[in-house]
Amino acid sequence: MRLTHENLALGPYSQAVKTPTAIYCSGQIPLTADGTLIEGTIAEKTRKCCENLDAVLKQAGSSLPRVVKTTIFISDMDHFAEMNGEYEKFFSHKPARSCVAVKTLPKGVDVEIEAIALP
């Protein structure tokens, strides 16, 4: 089952795919519902990514506390501590996680977060 959130995907993919055992969420970037990029600190951008991820999960019948794995892509590891400070507000249950610095992300954003959750 493919799901699409109101924030339209930037390419030929689904925002989430739900199976009987898991929900696979595509990476969320700090975009508003109208497609505007959030300006501000890494914490503010991380918050918007998490809020977008929460919206996708809710549409799929799940929620952030049911996330079992996240992958975070950031533009610079110098942002790691600030990103973590905001991230932990959404993921206090400490799902498994990977975090990697990448050269570039879609639309030139500084952070993108994807997740796998239980239905």
pLDDT of residue 75: 98
Domain boundaries, given as residue ranges, for the chain = 2-117
CATH code, 2-117: 3.30.1330.40
Q: Across the strands, what pairs with 67?
A: 117
Render pLDDT for 25-43 as a digit per residue (tens, 0 to 9). Answer: 999 999 998 889 999 999 9
- Given a contact cutoff of 8 angstroms between Cβ atoms, the answer to whether 72 and 80 are in contact is no
Task: Tell me the C-alpha distance between 13 and 52, whole Å.
Answer: 16
According to the model, what pLDDT value does residue 3 have? 54
> How far is Cα 96 from Cα 58, in angstroms, rounded to an integer?
20
The whole model's pTM is what? 0.91
| Residue of 25, 49, 50, 99 marked catalytic | 99
Neighbours of 58 (CB within 10 A): 12
Q: What pLDDT, on the 0 to 100 scale, is given for residue 34?
A: 87
Reply yes or no on whether 99 is catalytic.
yes
Give every residue of the chain whose pLDDT is below 50, as ranges: 4-7
